[in-house]
Amino acid sequence: MILVLLGTFPTQFERPLVAIDSLCREGIIREKVIVQNGFTDFPSHYLTYKPFLPMEELDQLYREARIIISHAGSGSLLKGLKMGKKIIAIPRMPKYGEVVDEHQMEILTEFEKENYLLGWRETDDLKELLLQIKEFEPKPFVSKKQNIIDFLDRYIDAL
């Protein structure tokens, strides 16, 4: 199963669905595709939509997913990375009115540099990314939260 996460930002985000639906129609994607679509409406005979999910159901879908295709929101990506999932991430972009700034592109770039996921940019072909993800081994995610906490503790102690 492929889990697609579009996030819950209150704007349309059809770009990934157009490509995924097309590959389903062509028979390239043959497995079930479940889409957490939030506020995005896109007609498809191939995609199963779940606009908003309770956390328990979403966690179960993460566990069951072979691949996660996600917007480049930090919450969605971190959940998948912590589970060791193979992720293809596509940033929402302000030029399409999908988001207000470039923060998702920035997140994507940093996570891609760390080899945590494969980025899906405008010039990339999803069919090629799906071939690449088969061999892709994501680097295990290590949270740097404790480093930040330790730094702040040292800083406060030094005052």
pTM value?
A: 0.90
Helix (H) or strand (E) holding 22: helix 15-25
What mean pLDDT is reported for the chain? 94
The pLDDT value given to residue 151: 67
Q: What is the mean pLDDT of residues 91-119?
A: 95
Q: Where are the beta strands (DSSP E) in the chain?
A: 2-5, 33-36, 47-49, 67-71, 86-90, 118-119
Both tokens of 95, joined, read: 């030029």
Please give the order of strands across the beta sheet that includes 47-49: 47-49, 33-36, 2-5, 67-71, 86-90, 118-119
Q: What are phi and psi of 35, to 5 degrees?
A: -120, 120
Q: What does the pLDDT read at residue 117? A: 98
Q: How far apart are CA 119 and CA 145, in angstroms?
A: 23
Mind listing the pLDDT tens digit for each residue in 40-96?
A: 999 999 999 999 999 999 999 999 999 999 999 999 999 999 999 999 999 999 999
